Chains A and B, each alone.
Chain A
């Protein structure tokens, strides 16, 4: 019995829903109302577990077709997520303008590596413009506050 991605996806959903279902068993009912806070979550998680089990079983019993694989650049996806993760971590420390400038430059250079001084200048220009234009539009004109950096003070 070999599982394909459907089966694995179903298995992850099954385990997650069962763990959360177990978590609802510790919820205390409120004596003032006929149904407690665990009533609906138990229904939803129970249904999710049953459906996930169906997905796993259907996949396990299905005849597998050979999967067509297209070469995809997963390392680039991982790096793009990693840079975004760093941006999110850096935002409260560096503040919006600096963190955004660094993020835009890093991601842009990652997705299309610059090959000469001109393209590096383009990357820097895009980063600076994005950071300052968004800050100007949102903070000055739309009165939307953006994150301040605890290290930088702005």
Chain B
């Protein structure tokens, strides 16, 4: 394993891989720092550039974006009080007050170094567990895969904040998208609605690009031209200089906080399609609960920054484990990576690491090296990031849309995918307006085909449906699905009761 990792690092250090990794990291830091531009959108923008590259070059660029974006998001969180991305929201709670208290450099670099430590600890988990987990997954038959994918969907649907029913409907609609067009087992046409293009099914990448890019862009557009608050001018004269050794010492003197937050980030990352925002908030909440001075949280203490930033970078490693060992995207960014792998004809899943060891260890190496490149970008450039956030969205959004169009068109050089992009752009915005979460929908679109293929394979192998329950792993996974839905139902009911109780208390006074 270490030999392969060493070879991977040597491989990535070649200019042809290091250059896309560096450019990806730079773009990720910038995209992460721009409020209103998420890492998902940044990686979507980068996607078409990877079509003409070797698989490892493209994936290195995307990993760079992912790692850079997670770190870049904290810049505006700390210095402007505006999270650059959803997974930096909790960083704002203590980062911004610390900056306002006259220590902007300390706030910023605590976040950057915590990101790096969290990310590198995550790398240990990534390298150590992906192979063994893939070996476990190799023992799976179609029954286990079917149950695993059902578990993934039910967990995502259950973990959405708004409503369990909406999460489940959203995931089910995602699966419906995959039944339009053709039967993946026999190739027979079905539900084409008279549209010839649908005979081949709907490719998931234009769906993903359309849903995520337009849901986000239009959510920003609807706030434009009104009373939306402009980004306040930043005092660019303020000193961001710190003693890096002192900052690192501050983080390393809290080993339990660092390890626990990293662990939370990893677990959330491994769970499918949840993402860094949950990791960031949960780690912050846990840090507060375990702290001897919880009342100080929110006033600008280092624990808040360390917890939130180490967890969201570790979350990247967790997401990569899930996609590389099981072929299930850990979040939207890894879903785009899955698309990039598919374009290059590479099948993700348990065989990935065995059949593509050079690529897999190259990805590990890219992930590790990206943390060093983040430092290389931010040490001289952190002040520039404050200028970049003033780029007008009226200029940024049309360029992003053009890159989305290129990404969709270039998949197979047909306008059909651009039409899919348009339709699902409208659909995604509609989902947001109706309050449906996007993550279960996308996971449904990605896993729908696989669920069907494994269900049909299982039934064709043995028509006894009880095997889904009596086979120990499959039964365990299905039981976990039921538990996750029941737990989510209980949690939502409890939250509703609390909200009702709070409303009644308010009314009493």
Task: Give the B-binding residues of A (Cβ under 8 A).
Answer: 5-6, 8-10, 12-13, 16-17, 20, 23-24, 27, 30, 33-41, 44-45, 47-48, 51-52, 54-55, 58, 71-74, 76-77, 80-81, 84-85, 87-88, 91-92, 100, 103-104, 107-108, 111-112, 122, 126, 130, 134, 137-138, 141-147
Whether A130 and B165, one on each chain, are in contact in the complex, defined by CB atoms closer than 8 angstroms, is: no
Whether B435 and A5, one on each chain, are in contact in the complex, defined by CB atoms closer than 8 angstroms, is: yes
List 20 extra interface pairs beyond A91-B405, A92-B415, CB under 8 A.
A6-B163, A9-B435, A17-B172, A20-B180, A24-B190, A27-B188, A30-B188, A36-B188, A37-B183, A39-B456, A44-B448, A48-B169, A51-B168, A55-B165, A108-B395, A111-B221, A111-B394, A130-B402, A134-B402, A146-B406
Whether B422 and A85, one on each chain, are in contact in the complex, defined by CB atoms closer than 8 angstroms, is: yes
Whether A37 and B398, one on each chain, are in contact in the complex, defined by CB atoms closer than 8 angstroms, is: no
Neighbouring B residues of A45 by C-beta, 8 Å: 176, 179
Q: How far is the CB of B464 from chain A (nearest CB, A)?
A: 12
B410 CB-CB contact with A under 8 Å: yes
| A77 with B429, Cβ < 8 A, contacts A6-B435, A9-B435, A71-B226 known | yes
Q: Bound complex: CA of A13 vs CA of B430, how far in Å?
A: 12
Whether B186 and A37, one on each chain, are in contact in the complex, defined by CB atoms closer than 8 angstroms, is: yes
Q: How many A-B residue pairs have CB under 8 A?
A: 186
| A103 with B393, Cβ < 8 A, contacts A39-B456, A48-B172, A77-B221 known | no
Q: How far is the CB of A33 from chain B (nearest CB, A)?
A: 7
Q: Bound complex: CA of A121 vs CA of B340, how far in Å?
A: 37
B418 CB-CB contact with A under 8 Å: yes
| Chain B CB within 10 A, most for which of A36, A55, A71, A91 | A55
The 10 A-B residue pairs whose C-beta atoms are closest, nearest first, are A142-B52, A112-B394, A9-B434, A111-B394, A37-B183, A107-B398, A41-B179, A48-B172, A72-B222, A104-B398
Whether B399 and A104, one on each chain, are in contact in the complex, defined by CB atoms closer than 8 angstroms, is: yes
Q: Bound complex: CA of A5 vs CA of B166, how far in Å?
A: 11
Q: How far is the CB of A16 from chain B (nearest CB, A)?
A: 8
Q: Bound complex: CA of A6 vs CA of B431, how far in Å?
A: 10
B128 CB-CB contact with A under 8 Å: no
